[in-house]
Amino acid sequence: MFSNTKEEDVYETFNVLMRRKPKENNFKAVLETIRDLMQSELVVPDWLHNIFLGYGLPGSAHYTMMPNLPKEIDFRDTFLDYDHLVESFPGKEIVPMEGYEAPFPPPYVLQFPESLNANNSTDSSDSKQDENTIMLKWKQLSQEQIQ
């Protein structure tokens, strides 16, 4: 049974395979992703923090509940190209701002009509925009933003 000859160490000849529950296995990755999103240049807006983290009322993230609706939204890499942008807003006319000529590559900054805002502010300083017209700007990226 026992031999004096030197044999191969049995513990060096086998591998151990473990299975973990997916919930436990992915939790660290989920936390790291959330942390990276919160520390990146594209930070999650304050009004979406509670919803993003899983608590708060989901209805509070609806655009009609926002106190200060932005007039312009920078869509960054949301649209693949100009055709994708136009297809994403059926029934709306995409009109380039003065000094711009479509089509041009992303990223796009869109200015939506005031009539789409729930808090219809009566600011007469801006020219009235038809509710079916979306104004389009082009945002030139710097080399740092491309990388």
Each residue's pLDDT tens digit, 78-87: 888 888 988 9
Say if CB 132 and CB 91 are below 8 A apart: yes
Q: How many CB atoms lie within 10 A of CB 128?
A: 9
What are the sequence ranges of the domains in the chain? 1-66, 71-147
CA distance 56 to 125: 36
Continuous H helices in 40-110: 49-52, 82-88
CA distance 129 to 45: 27
- Asked whether the predicted pLDDT for residue 103 surpasses 50, the reply is yes
Cα angle 87, 93, 97 (rounded to 5 degrees) comes to 110
Would you give the DSSP letter of residue 1? Answer: -
Q: Is the pLDDT of residue 31 over 50?
A: yes
